Amino acid sequence: MNRRQQQSRFSLAVMLLLSLSGCALLYASIDEHTPPPVGWPKMVPEVHKVSQPKMREECAPYVGSDVVGGCAIIDLMAKTCVIWLDNDFPVDGAEIHERKHCAGYDHPGGKTISRMMNEYKTAEAK
């Protein structure tokens, strides 16, 4: 993989993480009536239930140190979704919520998933 592809992969992963991980704070609803974008890759989430300090260590570089519950790091280029969950103070519904993001679902009215898919397609075309 060349440097440009690595930068694109990193950028897509970071941008999606920044957009989605904040939802862990309140665990807003997921829009299950709007299907994932066409071409959304099927990903088997890799779930890590870890101590709160470890979860914050993994999530904080992208969302700050006050992340609550967990975060999902989606890398469309690698077709991976890594979920980090706080096992010390679990938040009800956190894992289900993050898994739905991995499956391509967004919050009601959200455009993050579709925007990231469009950016992914653009990067793939180059």
Cβ proximity of 120 and 41 under 8 Å: no
Tens of each residue's pLDDT in the chain, 126 residues: 555 555 555 445 544 554 454 554 456 688 999 999 999 999 999 999 999 999 999 988 876 777 778 888 899 999 999 999 999 999 989 999 889 999 999 989 988 899 999 999 999 888
Q: pLDDT tens for residues 92-119?
A: 899 998 899 999 999 899 888 999 999 9
Residue 80 in tokens: 């991976």
Provide the domain count of the chain. 1
Q: How far apart are CA 74 and CA 116, in angstroms?
A: 10
Q: Give me the domain span that covers residue 52.
A: 3-125
